[in-house]
Amino acid sequence: MDKCECGCGCAPAAGETWVVASTSGVSVRKTADPGSGVLGALGLGSEITVTQQVRSGEDFRGYVSASKPGEGTWGKTEGWVNLLPCCKGTPSKWVVTASSLNVRREPDANSARINSLPTNTKVTVTTIKKGGDYTWGFVAYAKKPNNEYHMRDGWVALEHCKKA
């Protein structure tokens, strides 16, 4: 399978920077076998560098060197991860400028509203897509301010945000 979970159609290439784009994160394992022992986990927004890849049917795994957000070398992890919930590129930081910004399930103004964010909410954008009249960003944001362990995600119109 050459398509990632985020739907952007990307497939990692060795040595490129990618980011975990799933709120459930990814497990870091000893081997490429999905049943092998877990060494740790990387959460939403973790940057990974793929150095090896293994494909087996729809399974797509990579040996990565990664850093957990905000932890520098202390959060550095190496091992095998499922690459399907990952997207190409480095996440960017944005701030909501609207008084209230809808978070949508899909990058579409008619998609279900799953939340709203107040002015000055900080978000991390992992994927950007054009859709209709808007530029959509797939964002991660803390359910409670400064609490990265209760992350949520969805799509917002970036016209109502500014780069931090």
The domains of the chain are located at 17-88, 92-163
SS3 at position 72: helix
pLDDT, residue 128, reads: 83
Output the average pLDDT for the chain.
78
CA distance 156 to 125: 9
Amino acid at 116: S
Instruction: Tell me if domain 17-88 and domain 92-163 are identical in fold.
Output: yes
Q: At residue 8, does pLDDT exceed 50?
A: no
Q: Is CATH 2.30.30.40 what the domain over 92-163 is classified as, yes or no?
A: yes
For the chain, the C-alpha Rg in angstroms (whole number) is 16
pLDDT digits (tens, 9 = 90+) for 20-62: 877 678 889 999 888 899 888 888 777 788 888 887 666 788 8
pLDDT digits (tens, 9 = 90+) for 93-103: 899 999 999 99
SS3 at position 126: strand
Q: Is CATH 3.40.109.10 what the domain over 17-88 is classified as, yes or no?
A: no
